[in-house]
């Protein structure tokens, strides 16, 4: 299985509705190809992890690079793995909520840290660590049967 993680900058005017539609379309397309993953959106940038058969992931990434909804695409990770981090997620989109919403939520500090609200591009290769952390959070929440907690921190699409 191939895993790719990249960041990119959203075009101006890309809103929550456009993000929701993008996630729905990606989920449908990925499901037919056996590709899974996570798409993060902070209102300015995207960060995505794609996992699945090498040919399918490579084909999707080629389309992503040509997509006009974003620019400045930076491939952070390209690795072969035996296990999926986002198994059963054909594509889940998580849009960060404004920090002001999180100020009273102790869960925010359990699931996230300050890096979520910094420009991901500024984190360089370290931005990929966020994806690995989300995979751990996903596994822990699934194990505890608490996937609903994600909605306290994110808009889930």
**Taking residues 103-128, what's their average pLDDT?**
56
Question: How do strand 45-52 and strand 70-80 relate by DSSP bridges?
Answer: unpaired
Domain range list for the chain? 2-156
Q: What is the pLDDT of residue 51?
A: 95
pLDDT at 108 over 50: no
**pLDDT (0 to 100) of residue 111:** 46
Question: Whole-structure pTM over 0.85, yes or no?
Answer: no
What is the share, in percent, of the chain residues with pLDDT greater than 90? Answer: 30
Question: Which one has a higher pLDDT value, 82 or 147?
Answer: 82
Give the model confidence (pLDDT) of 36-79 as tens digits: 988 888 888 888 999 999 999 999 999 999 999 999 999 999 99
Q: Is the pLDDT of residue 99 over 90?
A: no
Q: What fold characterizes domain 2-156?
A: Alpha-Beta Plaits (3.30.70)
Q: Using CB atoms within 10 A of its CB, is residue 29 exposed (0-12), middle (13-18) or buried (19+)?
A: middle
User: pLDDT averaged over the chain?
Assistant: 78
Cα–Cα distance between 28 and 33 in angstroms, integer?
9
| Residues whose CB falls within 8 Å of the CB of residue 32, separated by 6 or more in sequence, listed in order | none
What is the average per-residue pLDDT within 100-111? 44
Burial class (CB in 10 A: 0-12, 13-18, 19+), 108: middle
């Amino acid at each position: 299985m191939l895993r790719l993680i990249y960041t990119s900058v959203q075009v101006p005017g890309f809103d929550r509705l456009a993000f929701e539609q993008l996630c729905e379309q990606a989920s449908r397309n990925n499901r037919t190809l056996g590709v899974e993953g996570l798409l993060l959106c902070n209102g300015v940038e995207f960060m995505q992890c794609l996992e699945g058969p090498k040919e399918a992931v490579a084909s999707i990434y080629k389309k992503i690079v040509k997509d006009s909804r974003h620019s400045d695409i930076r491939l952070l990770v390209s690795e072969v793995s035996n296990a999926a981090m986002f198994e059963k997620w054909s594509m889940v989109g998580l849009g960060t909520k404004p920090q002001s919403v999180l100020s009273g939520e102790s869960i925010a500090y359990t699931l996230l840290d300050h890096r979520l609200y910094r420009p991901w591009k500024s984190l360089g290769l370290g931005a990929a660590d966020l994806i690995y952390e989300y995979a751990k959070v996903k596994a822990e929440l699934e194990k505890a049967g608490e996937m609903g907690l994600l909605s306290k921190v994110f808009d889930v699409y």
